[in-house]
Amino acid sequence: MCKKLAAIFAAMMLATMGAWASSTLQVNAGTPYIFGGPCVGGASACSSGGEVHAINGDSVLITQNQGGANSTLTDPVLIILGMAGSGNVAPTLQTGTSFGGYTVVSGGLASSTVWGDNLSAQTPTNPAGVLLSSNAGPSDAYSQAGLGGLGALGQLGVNWSAAYSAVIGGSVSQFQLFVYAVNLSPNLTGQGPPGDTFQVNFSDLPVGTFVIAYGCQGQADTTAPCTTGGPNPFGTPFTEAGLAVPEPASLSLLGVGLVGLAGLRRRFKV
């Protein structure tokens, strides 16, 4: 139920939101921001109103925002998970999901050359790259995953670490990057709501996982790099990334538990 409500709410918000920026793929766009701390990366990646959208459960919405222009993205669209810490096992991406007129006809961990990056060595326990919390290069998560062509979308190593600490709690020194290749039917067109959003579902999206996306418009060879000047690469600014947070119901139960513990403490003190 929570997943369905989140998807409906996000879709409703998309109808009223303005254009963010050209060549942008947004995660759970239109939902409230959950992090208001400092953002490193400039105006293209940061917003004074807050950063990062919440992901509850295992369902994620990806929106193509082209600033009003229509540009069909070539399959595959890449979904990138930044999983905190080490020793992670990549969740399974579900196929057959339909939303907004688009169906995920196939998808899973990339295991070949996609947009110039050789991902053949990637497995559920061997990530495509590792992003350190100290990394401060523009679009560094994409660079660490072997993808290029993007401008500055935020120094994600620094920003993810700060957002993780503020929202989830504790500190994290690195994020393992797992890249999924998703084929849609039809291809994503960016025509505006509801024709610019598709949904991906995972078997289990751990709390504290960041989600971003990468797409390419105008490149026929899916093994060649997607670079500016001909093909047009799409990415997710830090502001429009998603972060998996505890389910609202879990937070409510936690609150009830804390109240109960407080009552017990008072009883023991009497």
Q: How many domains does the chain have?
A: 1
β-bridge partners, 211:
81, 242
Q: Is the pLDDT reported for residue 19 higher than 50?
A: no
Q: For the chain, give the number of residues.
A: 270
In this structure, of 92-96, 127-131, 261-265, the range with the lowest mean pLDDT score is 261-265
* Residue 206 lies in domain: 2-269
pLDDT averaged over every residue in the chain = 83
Contact call for residues 55 and 204 (beta carbons, < 8 A) = no
What does 9-60 look like in DSSP terms, one character per residue? HHHHHHTTPPP--TTEEEESTTSPEEE-S---S-TTT--TT-EEEEEETTEE
Residue 12 has pLDDT above 60, yes or no: no
Q: What is the pLDDT of residues 235-260, one digit of tens each?
A: 999 999 999 999 874 443 333 333 34
- Structure token digits, residue 237: 């600014």
| Tens of pLDDT, residues 138-159 | 889 999 999 988 878 889 999 9
Give the pTM.
Answer: 0.84
How high is the pLDDT of residue 15?
Answer: 32
pLDDT for 61-75, tens place per residue?
Answer: 999 987 555 688 999
Per the structure block, which two tokens stand in for 20?
């963010």
